[in-house]
Amino acid sequence: MKKLILVLLCFVSISSNSQIREWNSSLDAAKDLATIQDKMILMMWEESTLMPLPVIVNGENGKKIFIEDMLTNEYVTNLIWEYFIPVVVSESNYTELFDEIRDHRSTDYINAFNDDTIKILDVNGNILNVEIDASDNYLNITDFILKYALNTSLIKGELLAYRENKNFYSTFRLAAGYVDMASFVLPKVRPEMIALSDIYFNEAQVFLDQGAIEKSELYLQKINLQKIKQQLVLNKPRKVLRQLKRLDSNILNANEAEIAFLYFTAHLLLNDEKSASEWRNKLSLVNLKKANQIIISNE
pTM comes to 0.91
Which has the closest alpha carbon to 206: 193, 194, 219, 225? 219
**How is the chain split among helix, strand and coil, in percent rounded to 5?**
60, 10, 30
Domain boundary among 114, 148, 182: 148
pLDDT of residue 71: 93
The CATH number covering residue 100 comes to 3.40.30
Domain boundary among 148, 171, 196: 148
pLDDT of residue 13: 44
pLDDT of residue 28: 97
**CB neighbours of 159 closer than 8 A, spacing ≥ 6?**
35, 122, 123, 124, 152, 174, 177
pLDDT of residue 14: 41
Verify that 72 and 192 share a domain, yes or no. Answer: no
Domain boundary among 122, 148, 174: 148
> What domain range includes position 111?
2-148
Chain center to CA of 119: 12
Which has the closest alpha carbon to 149: 208, 80, 52, 70? 80
Verify that 126 and 182 share a domain, yes or no. Answer: no
- Reported as a pLDDT band with limits 50, 70 and 90, residue 15 is very low
Q: What does the DSSP assignment read for 84-120?
A: EEEEEE-GGGHHHHHHHHTTTS-HHHHHHHHSSS-EE
pLDDT of residue 244: 93
The yes-or-no verdict on residue 24 having pLDDT over 70 is yes
Contact 50, 114 (CB under 8 A): no
If you average pLDDT over residues 52-77, what whole number do you get?
A: 92
Q: How does pLDDT run across 85-142, given as a tens digit for each residue?
A: 999 999 999 999 999 999 899 999 999 999 999 999 999 999 999 987 666 789 999 9
Verify that 89 and 113 share a domain, yes or no. Answer: yes
State the Cα angle at 88 between 85 and 91, rounded to 5°.
Answer: 145
Q: How far apart are CA 41 and CA 56, in angstroms?
A: 21
Domains contained in the chain, number: 2
β 139-140/84-89 pair status: unpaired
pLDDT of residue 134: 64
Q: How far apart are CA 230 and CA 239, in angstroms?
A: 11
pLDDT of residue 230: 98
Which has the closest alpha carbon to 85: 136, 133, 120? 120
Verify that 176 and 270 share a domain, yes or no. Answer: yes
Q: How does pLDDT run across 146-190, given as a tens digit for each residue?
A: 999 999 999 999 999 999 999 999 999 999 999 999 999 999 999
- Reported as a pLDDT band with limits 50, 70 and 90, residue 20 is confident
What are the residues facing 58 on neighbouring strands? 64
Secondary structure string (H, E, C) spanning 229-292? HHHHHCCCHHHHHHHHHHCCCCCCHHHHHHHHHHHHHHHHHCCCHHHHHHHHCCCCHHHHHHHH
Verify that 124 and 92 share a domain, yes or no. Answer: yes
Q: How does pLDDT run across 202-225, given as a tens digit for each residue?
A: 999 999 988 777 888 899 999 999
What are the residues facing 42 on neighbouring strands? 86, 120
pLDDT of residue 246: 87
Q: How does pLDDT run across 233-279, given as a tens digit for each residue?
A: 999 999 999 999 988 677 888 899 999 999 999 999 999 999 999 99
